[in-house]
Structure 1
């Protein structure tokens, strides 16, 4: 089995150093700005809340375990992150239609409206940050960033790297 050292010997170390540096800078900048958008809703929704609401919007009502599995995190983490969303009325807890004992999480109308405000603000930020880029450059960046995130997710899950060009899910 090849070692990590074996896999990188044929790659340009300078390029790998530059890549890891740019990823670190991106992570710091993303955390500092929270990529929250512009205007009144700037920075007004944290990353965890945004990702949870976004997944519920795209995939519909689901239980905590399904939500956790889809996001690649622990159920207890989802439970902890969802609690304030329920408290503020952005997410509703309802009974499962087939098993009344099970709880299903669902985006509330208030959550839907709030999510759209944040999405709109973040779309504006992305437009501003990529001002001067061509549509092809934006598409290429999105494709490469999606591939990068997919590879990181696969590595975190202990799976072999999957090279796909799927659009971003969350």
Structure 2
């Protein structure tokens, strides 16, 4: 396979992934319980990512993570708080700012979604060897990191 053919194959695969990962498909097979909006879970997911990196999320961070305007992020955060999936904690050094933290229900939802996603990935790679899975994980991570580093800011 030539380099051009390889890049075309990657592009084709990425388009197929995007088409299969519609919001409806993710909600249907992604481990979200009935009644939990995918946009609300996106907030939980962004808060979890901040926690995983050792940080604490604010509404501004959520807006950036979800690539939405501040007013939209505020509404999504309010809906996520109302759903009991996150809570606001006052910043002890700046009373005007609040950090967002997953509640017990939010952590349980994250765990449920992770399990559902991993189950789908396990099914997709069922015929693969452990070495093939490890190689794919390494290469996919490098690929995504490369996309993150090379995609220009469009704002």
Q: Alignment partner for residue 12 of structure 2, among 21, 38, 44? A: 21
Q: 1:37 to 1:143 in 2, by over 3 A?
A: farther
Matches within 5 A, 1:41-120: 41=33, 46=38, 48-49=42-43, 51-58=45-52, 59=54, 61-67=56-62, 71=65, 73=67, 76=70, 78-120=73-115
Higher helix proportion: 2
Asked if the contact 2:45/2:110 (under 8 Å) is kept, the reply is: no
What value does the CA root-mean-square deviation take over the aligned residues?
Answer: 3.0
SS at match of 2:96: coil
**How does the TM-score come out when normalised to structure 2?**
0.73
Unaligned runs of 5+ in 2: none
Do the aligned partners of 1:41 and 1:117 also contact (CA within 8 Å) in 2?
no
Between the aligned partners of 1:87 and 1:94, the Cα distance in structure 2 is 15
Q: Which runs of 5+ in 1 are unaligned?
A: 1-10, 159-170
Partner secondary structure for residue 100 of structure 1:
strand
How many residues get paired? Answer: 146
